[in-house]
């Protein structure tokens, strides 16, 4: 593999495809190469823009390797981000020259997207630190993984592309332990267990996810009951995979949606079945905490550069803590 910069702004990477790569899709093969260090979606964009050349000709969208080809990848510089830094207070739990971990409040969107171009975590972090990875694109600088808008807790951001790639690989190898605290409706039969059910996009509502075998991906969740209340269980939940809405979808599928979750039955839908003696308790609980009771409580991983173990924890936010105090007073 060789690398040069004969075009000024573009970086050109040249690869000789080994014989044993025959039969593999070009974009998948390139995506595994550390020196290229590109996401598969960006590789596909380069192919679409005729910037991936195989034996002197632009590669097709579904190009399958034969083995022995010479591939040139012309990588343009990342576009300048048009995200505006905003002076928004941040609760930074850990930071060094390579990464930072922020305790995101509920109600804050992780990165700019349709309808949310300001006030996001990324806007705030860019005011604090302009040097962030571009591996996920200029609209998601630094973002290694994300949290839903109304989920609070710890989130990692990378300061350069190499660190970003290393952290993503750790997530894929399940070497970053992400632990949540969740209050779920009803009671789990077992004090601990696993949920191994594939998650994919709902065909009924494209904004939601669901347990399905259709165009789905593996999703594995471990849980442990740490307290039981009259109507609810408090769980410690460990994500083995990181699918969109995974915790919310898994527990909703089991008939135990996350308390307060408006999208997966944790507000009115589940509470319609509550016996009249407990309806006031449920009503007051929902008034105390109108969002989903889900908090990314702990992160544990080996630092990709220093190789030192990192263990970070954060307290429950006031609304979640206040809800638990109320449930304790109401009795079990």
DSSP codes joined into one string, 226-244: EEE-SSEEEEEEEESS--T
How far apart, in Å, are the Cα atoms of 328 and each of 186, 277, 293, 323, 332? Answer: 16, 17, 16, 9, 7
Residue where the block lists tokens 């970053």: 176
How far is the C-alpha of 179 from the C-alpha of 223, rounded, in Å? 9
- Percent pLDDT > 90 in the chain is 69
How far is the C-alpha of 304 from the C-alpha of 105, rounded, in Å? 26
pLDDT in tens, 210-223: 999 988 999 999 99
pLDDT of residue 137: 74
Q: Is the pLDDT of residue 168 over 70?
A: yes
Q: Is the pLDDT of residue 4 over 80?
A: no
The model's confidence at residue 297, banded by pLDDT at 50, 70 and 90, is very high
Comparison of pLDDT for 5 and 223, the residue scoring more: 223
Q: Is the pLDDT of residue 7 over 70?
A: no
pLDDT in tens, 76-86: 876 666 788 99
pLDDT in tens, 224-249: 999 999 999 999 999 999 899 999 99
The model's confidence at residue 179, banded by pLDDT at 50, 70 and 90, is very high
Q: Is the pLDDT of residue 3 over 50?
A: no
Comparison of pLDDT for 61 and 182, the residue scoring more: 182
How far is the C-alpha of 98 from the C-alpha of 163, rounded, in Å? 7
pLDDT in tens, 19-73: 998 999 998 888 878 667 777 778 888 999 999 999 999 998 889 999 998 999 9
pLDDT of residue 81: 63
DSSP letter for each residue of 124-144: HHHHH-S----TT-TTSTTBS
Strand (E) or helix (H) holding 296? strand 294-302
Contact 184, 247 (CB under 8 A): no
How far is the C-alpha of 42 from the C-alpha of 22, rounded, in Å? 22
How far is the C-alpha of 244 from the C-alpha of 201, rounded, in Å? 9
Identify the active-site residue in 27, 49, 148, 325: 148
How far is the C-alpha of 39 from the C-alpha of 111, rounded, in Å? 18
How far is the C-alpha of 17 from the C-alpha of 3, rounded, in Å? 15
Q: Indicate the average pLDDT of the chain.
A: 90
pLDDT in tens, 186-199: 999 999 999 999 99
Contact 160, 150 (CB under 8 A): no
Q: Would you call 318 a catalytic residue per the annotation?
A: no
pLDDT of residue 6: 42
pLDDT of residue 243: 93
Mean pLDDT of 133-153: 88
**Alpha helices (H) in the chain, listed in sequence order:** 26-31, 40-48, 121-128, 161-172, 246-253, 268-271, 279-288, 318-330
Give every CB contact of residue 323 below 8 A, 6+ residues apart in sequence.
Answer: 183, 259, 285, 288, 289, 293
User: Which domains can be identified in the chain, with CATH numbers?
Assistant: 2-75 (3.10.290.10), 92-172 (3.30.2350.10), 177-330 (3.30.2350.10)
The model's confidence at residue 1, banded by pLDDT at 50, 70 and 90, is very low
């Amino acid at each position: 593999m060789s690398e040069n910069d004969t075009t000024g702004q573009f970086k050109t990477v040249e690869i000789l495809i080994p014989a044993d790569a025959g039969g593999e899709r070009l974009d998948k093969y390139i995506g595994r190469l550390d020196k290229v260090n590109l996401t598969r979606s960006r590789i596909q964009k380069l192919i679409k823009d005729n910037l991936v050349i195989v034996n002197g000709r632009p590669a097709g969208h579904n190009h399958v390797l034969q083995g022995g080809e010479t591939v040139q990848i012309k990588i343009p510089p990342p576009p300048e981000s048009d995200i505006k830094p905003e002076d928004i207070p941040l609760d930074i739990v850990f930071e060094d020259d390579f990464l930072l971990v922020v305790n995101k409040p509920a109600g804050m969107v992780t990165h700019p997207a349709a309808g949310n171009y300001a006030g996001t975590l990324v806007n705030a972090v860019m005011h604090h630190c302009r040097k962030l990875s571009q591996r996920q694109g200029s609209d998601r600088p630094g973002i290694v993984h994300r949290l839903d808008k109304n989920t609070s807790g710890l989130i990692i951001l990378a300061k350069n592309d190499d660190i970003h790639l290393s952290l993503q690989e750790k997530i894929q190898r399940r070497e970053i332990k992400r632990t949540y605290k969740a209050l779920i409706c009803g009671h789990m039969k077992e004090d601990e267990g696993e949920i191994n059910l594939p998650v994919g996009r709902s065909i009924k509502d494209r904004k939601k996810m669901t347990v399905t075998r259709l165009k789905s991906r593996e999703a594995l969740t471990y849980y442990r009951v740490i307290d039981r209340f009259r109507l609810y269980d408090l769980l410690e939940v460990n994500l083995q995979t990181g699918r969109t809405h995974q915790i919310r979808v898994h527990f909703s599928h089991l008939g135990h949606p996350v308390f307060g979750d408006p999208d997966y039955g944790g507000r009115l839908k589940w509470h319609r079945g509550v016996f009249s003696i407990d309806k006031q308790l449920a009503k007051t609980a929902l008034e105390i905490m109108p969002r989903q009771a889900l908090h990314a409580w702990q992160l544990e991983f080996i630092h990709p550069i220093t190789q030192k173990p990192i263990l970070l924890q954060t307290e429950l936010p006031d609304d979640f803590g206040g809800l638990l105090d109320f449930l304790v007073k109401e009795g079990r």
